[in-house]
Amino acid sequence: MAKEQNWAFPQELRPKPEDWRFDLDHALDAVVHLRALIPEDAFTAPLLGTERVGNGIVIGEDGLVLTIGYLITEASTIWMTTNKGGVVGGFPLAYDQATGFGLVQPLGKLGVAPLVRGSSSAVQVGGNVVVAGHGGRPRALRASVFAKREFAGYWEYVLDEAMFTAPAHPQWGGAALIAADGKLAGIGSLLVQEKIDAGTIQGNMIVPIDLLEPILDDLLKTGKTARPLRPWLGMYTTDAGARLVVAGLAPGGPAERAGIKIGDAILEVAGQKPSSLADLFRRIWRLGTSGVEVPLKTGRNGATSEVKVRSADRSDFLKKPHLH
Q: Which residues contact 301 (CB under 8 A, 6 or more apart)?
A: none
The domains of the chain, with CATH numbers, are 25-114+214-222 (2.40.10.10), 120-211 (2.40.10.10), 235-317 (2.30.42.10)
Q: What is the DSSP letter of 272?
A: B
The CA distance from 182 to 184, in Å, is 7
Q: Which of 2-6, 81-85, 105-109, 266-270 has the lowest mean pLDDT?
A: 2-6
- pLDDT above 80 for 93: yes
Over the stretch 47-69, which tens digit does the pLDDT of each residue have?
A: 999 999 999 999 999 999 999 99
For 211, list phi and psi in degrees, rounded to 5.
-70, -15
Q: Which of 7-16, 198-207, 294-303 has the lowest mean pLDDT?
A: 198-207
Contact predicate 291/314, CB 8 Å: no
H/E element holding 25? helix 24-28
Check residue 6 and give its pLDDT: 80
Contact predicate 94/172, CB 8 Å: no
Could you tell me which residue, 42 or 2, shows the higher pLDDT? Answer: 42
The CA distance from 191 to 181, in Å, is 25
Q: Tell which residue, 90, 96, 65, 61, has the closest CA to residue 78.
A: 90
Over the stretch 162-204, which tens digit does the pLDDT of each residue have?
A: 999 999 999 899 999 999 999 999 999 999 987 776 678 899 9
Check residue 3 and give its pLDDT: 45
Beta pairing, strands 101-106 & 87-95: antiparallel
- pLDDT above 60 for 1: no
Q: What is the DSSP letter of 155?
A: T
Check residue 323 and give its pLDDT: 56
Type of residue numbered 71:
L
Check residue 195 and give its pLDDT: 72
252 exposed, middle or buried (CB, 10 Å; 0-12, 13-18, 19+)?
exposed
Check residue 199 and give its pLDDT: 76
Question: What predicted TM-score, i.e. pTM, was given to this entire model?
Answer: 0.95
- pLDDT above 70 for 94: yes
Over the stretch 138-154, which tens digit does the pLDDT of each residue have?
A: 999 999 999 999 999 99
Check residue 4 and give its pLDDT: 52
